[in-house]
Amino acid sequence: MAVHAHPDDESSKGAATMAKYVSEGVDVLVATCTGGERGSVLNPKLQGDPYIEENIHEVRAREMDLAREILGVKQAWLGFVDSGLPEGDPLPPLPEGCFGLQDVDEAAGALVKLIREFKPQVITTYDENGGYPHPDHIMTHKISMVAFEAAGDPERYPEAGEPWTPLKLYYNQGFNKARTLALHEALEARCLESPYAEWLKRWDEFARPDRNISTHVPCADFFEIRDKALLAHATQIDPDGGWFRVPMDLQREVWPTEDYELAKSRVDVSLPEDDLFAGVREA
């Protein structure tokens, strides 16, 4: 089970890993916390379209359907309302009723119910910083941590179904500095423009601590599926943007994995790993 904040997050974080496991017969479910109702239209070609702007929730749901089919995964909505990304100094308050303002324990109940229904052995989510400090990403982390601990406890959320104990919990860490730097240097070595130059200059400004990346899943054969799924979210992705400026052969050669941080495990593990199910298969 991959727990994500918005439709499109599943295609930009861990999508090749999911497609790899689907190809091996693994049952994969994406849990999408919000409908992306307050997301902006980021594709310049679609900006200003009144239908999209007035029906963004419906449009993004259709995009999610297409991405789900491309990846071969199942997908479920948790039903929370997008908080939007507050901007300004000082930051404005979050909108009333949004996901970011929910009581964590109460909101986690919806995820506990889904875990007990789907019965995942492995769950992926975001770290305590949300990957980046969007209120919905941070709340996704919070409810994932509560749900991972509570799903197997019959005394918690008794209305959410029969208990199920997931075995491992991972944080997505695809946007780590080592990967970004490796791709940047490889592009420069080929005399190609790097979309990461400005990111690296400002990396320290983001105040992102180095993470303990424990798990590198080889999935280069599925990078094209990942990109196709990402492009399915047409309102959110500029097909001419930085996401797609790194040649595929370079990506596969320089960094052929998607990367994770093992946060919790109920099975014995030996780090580093190359499989999210390491220890689970043996158990």
Q: Is residue 73 part of a domain?
A: yes
Q: What is the pLDDT of residues 215-273, one digit of tens each?
A: 999 999 999 999 999 999 999 999 998 889 999 999 999 999 999 999 999 999 999 99
User: Which residue positions form the known binding site for Zn(2+)?
Assistant: 6, 9, 137
Q: How many domains does the chain have?
A: 1
272 belongs to a structural domain: no
Task: List b or e across 1-15, with b for residues whose CB sees 16 or more CB atoms inside 10 angstroms.
Answer: bbbbbbbbbbbbbbb
Phi and psi dihedrals of 170, rounded to 5? Answer: -120, 150
Q: What average pLDDT score do residues 146-158 get?
A: 98
CATH number of 49's domain? 3.40.50.10320
Averaged pLDDT, 85-98: 91
The predicted pLDDT at position 206 comes to 64
Q: How far is CA 278 from CA 13, 216, 217, in A?
A: 20, 12, 11
In a domain, 21, yes or no: yes
Phi and psi of 74, rounded to 5°? -90, 165
Mind listing the pLDDT tens digit for each residue in 28-42? 999 999 999 999 999
pLDDT > 90: what percent of the chain? 88
Q: Is residue 132 part of a domain?
A: yes
Surface-to-core class of residue 181, CB atoms within 10 Å of its CB (0-12 exposed, 13-18 middle, 19+ buried): middle
90 pLDDT band (50/70/90 cuts)? confident
Give me 171's structure tokens: 């944080």
Asked, for residue 116, whether it belongs to a domain, the answer is yes
Range of the domain at 164: 2-176+212-247+257-265
pLDDT tens string 195-213: 998 888 887 766 567 789 9
Question: DSSP label at 258?
Answer: E
pLDDT for 91 beyond 90: no
Q: What is the pLDDT of residue 210?
A: 78
Residue-wise pLDDT for 130-139, tens only, equals 888 899 999 9
pLDDT confidence of residue 207: 57
Name the pLDDT band for 153 (thresholds 50, 70, 90): very high
| Res. 89 pLDDT band, cuts 50 70 90 | confident
Alpha helix positions (H), the chain: 9-12, 15-23, 50-54, 56-71, 104-118, 135-150, 177-189, 197-201, 223-232, 248-254
Is 282 among the domain residues?
A: no
Mean pLDDT of the residues in the chain: 95
pLDDT for 208: 67
Nearest to 123 by CA among 67, 165, 72: 165
Q: Known binding site: residues? A: 6, 9, 137
Domain assignment of residue 100, yes or no: yes
Structure token digits, residue 148: 């991972």
Say which range, 52-66, 78-92, 117-131, 257-271, has the weakest mean pLDDT. 78-92
Is 96 a member of any domain? yes
Q: Please report where in the chains the tokens 């008794």 appear, as a residue.
A: 158
